[in-house]
Amino acid sequence: MNKIRIGLFYGRGTVSMNEEQFVQELEKRGISLNERQIAQFRRYYELLVEWNEKMNLTAITDREQVYLKHFYDSVSAAFQAPFDGPLTVCDVGAGAGFPSIPLKICFPELQVTIIDSLNKRITFLDELGKELGLDHVRFVHARAEEAGRNPDFREAFDVVTARAVARLSVLAELCLPLVKEGGRFISMKAAAAGEEMREAEYAVKLLGGRLKESHSFLLPVEDSERNIFVIEKVARTPKKYPRKPGTPGKLPLVKQ
C-alpha cells in the first residue's frame, strides 16, 4: 500500500490542528460543517476534558491535538468509505466516542449504536449525546461477544467500526457478526497494519468477510501512519461465532 499525505503542514514542530484548520481540511475532503456542527465539536472537546478529570477517557487533552488525533482522525474513515444517508452504524469499543460520534456530527442522518464494556464510559457517552443534541444514538453496556449473539444486534448493521481496539484477527470475530450481509466492517489502525491484515485473512473469510479496500496515509502535521481496512460482509457468520467473552482475545482465529 502506498502512503498518501492527507492535509497540510501548519508549521515545523507543531503537532496540532486548530478549529479553523480542522474545518478547512474537512471542507477540502468534501465535508462542509455548519455553525451548529462546529459548536458540537467545540462542546465535545469541553466535555471530554471535563469528564477526563473524573475517569480515564484519553491521554490527549490539548485542544489542538484532540482536533487532530481524535476528531480529524475519526472522520478520516469517511474519506475512504461513504457515510451518506441513514446508515445504521455500530461502533465497537468506542471509548470516548471515537470514531462514531465525530462521524455522527458530520453526518447527522447516521443511526449510531455504541457498544462498550465499561459502564462508566457509557455514562459519559449518554451525557455527551444529550449535551450535543444527537438523535438516533444509543449506548449499550455489553461485551462485543455478547452483542454479537444478541438477536437485536447480530447481523443488524450497515457499517461496524472499530478504532485501535485489538488486533485485526480478534476484531474480526468481535465485529463481523454484527455486520449485515452486504454491509461493511471498517477497521482503523495505526502503523504495521499490513501484517495484521495478513494474519487476519483466515478469520475474515471464516466469519463471512472479504477485504474490499485498504488505504494507508499519513496524518497531517505529525506524519504518523494510519491504515483503514474496508471489509465487506459477503456471507452470514457461522452461528458458533463469536465465541464466549474473552476467548477471541486469548485464542484468535488464525490459520494453523
Per-residue model confidence as pLDDT tens digits over 28-84:
999 999 999 999 999 999 999 999 999 999 999 999 999 999 999 999 999 988 898
Q: Read off the CATH number of the domain in which 177 is found.
A: 3.40.50.150
Tell me the C-alpha to C-alpha distance, in Å, between residue 102 and each of 24, 96, 144. 16, 11, 21
Per-residue pLDDT at 124 exceeds 90:
yes
User: Range of 190's domain?
Assistant: 3-250
Work out the mean pLDDT of the chain and round it to a whole number.
Answer: 91
Q: 15 pLDDT band (50/70/90 cuts)?
A: low
In a domain, 243, yes or no: yes
In a domain, 231, yes or no: yes
Percent of the chain with pLDDT over 90: 81
Binding residues for S-adenosyl-L-methionine: 93, 98, 144-145, 163
CB burial string 137-164: b at 16+ within 10 A, e below: bebbbbbbbbbbbeeebbbbbbbbbbbe
Task: For residues 92 and 178, give the distance between their C-alpha atoms in angstroms, rounded to a whole number.
Answer: 10
Per-residue model confidence as pLDDT tens digits over 184-226:
999 999 877 888 899 999 999 999 999 999 999 888 877 788 8
Binding residues: 93, 98, 144-145, 163
Per-residue pLDDT at 109 exceeds 80:
yes
State the DSSP code for 240. T
Q: Which residue has the higher pLDDT, 162 or 4?
A: 162
In a domain, 194, yes or no: yes
Structural domain total, the chain:
1
In a domain, 92, yes or no: yes
Task: For residues 222 and 68, give the distance between their C-alpha atoms in angstroms, rounded to a whole number.
Answer: 9
Average pLDDT in the 145-154 region? 97
In a domain, 71, yes or no: yes
In a domain, 255, yes or no: no
Average pLDDT in the 149-175 region? 94
| The pLDDT value given to residue 220 | 80
In a domain, 256, yes or no: no
| The pLDDT value given to residue 13 | 43
In a domain, 109, yes or no: yes
